[in-house]
A and B are shown apart, each in its own frame.
Chain A
Amino acid sequence: GAVPMEEEEDDDDPENRIAKKMLLEEIKANLSSD
């Protein structure tokens, strides 16, 4: 039968994901205010 695909790259921590989003948004805001 078919072997289910495993998600390989799931070491992405939820806390890390939120921090990354916040950081990137701040960088974007800073760039546009310059």
Chain B
Amino acid sequence: HGGSFKAENEQLFGEFLECCSRLTEEHPEVIPFLASRHQKASTEFLASAEFRNVLGRCLTRVQSKRSKVYVYINELCTVLKAHTQRRKLALSSAP
């Protein structure tokens, strides 16, 4: 491995979303929320081995214990939130 897990992580995340969307049909707002957390996360983190490990773990678990789907979604959201890309405030140049 060259050190970047970007493509692999994207694939795993897609699988996780697909799996969860079937299990969270009663609350269709959950998946878009998870996707937006993913979008806001830093690119370094999204390509990291750490994210790969978390994703792999969550995916394996959700496939074996579907009754805990929200636990794993919540876990992933928390991790993604912790790695939210810091927005540089370019708005501060008020006249």
Contact = CB atoms under 8 A, between A and B. Distances in A.
Interface of A: 11-13, 15-17, 19-20, 22-24, 26-27, 30
Q: Is chain A's binding surface mostly helix, strand, loop or mixed?
A: helix
Given A23-B77, A24-B27, A30 B70 contact: no
A22 B30 CA distance: 11
Chain B residues touching A, range: 10 to 19
Contact of A15 (B29, B30, B71, B73): B71
Q: Is chain B's binding surface mostly helix, strand, loop or mixed?
A: helix
B67 A23 contact: no
27 contacts: A11-B67, A12-B67, A13-B67, A13-B71, A15-B71, A16-B68, A16-B69, A16-B70, A19-B68, A19-B70, A19-B71, A19-B73, A20-B70, A20-B74, A22-B74, A23-B30, A23-B33, A23-B70, A23-B73, A23-B74, A23-B77, A24-B27, A24-B29, A26-B33, A26-B77, A27-B29, A30-B33
A20 B29 CA distance: 12
B30 A27 contact: yes
A27 B77 CA distance: 11
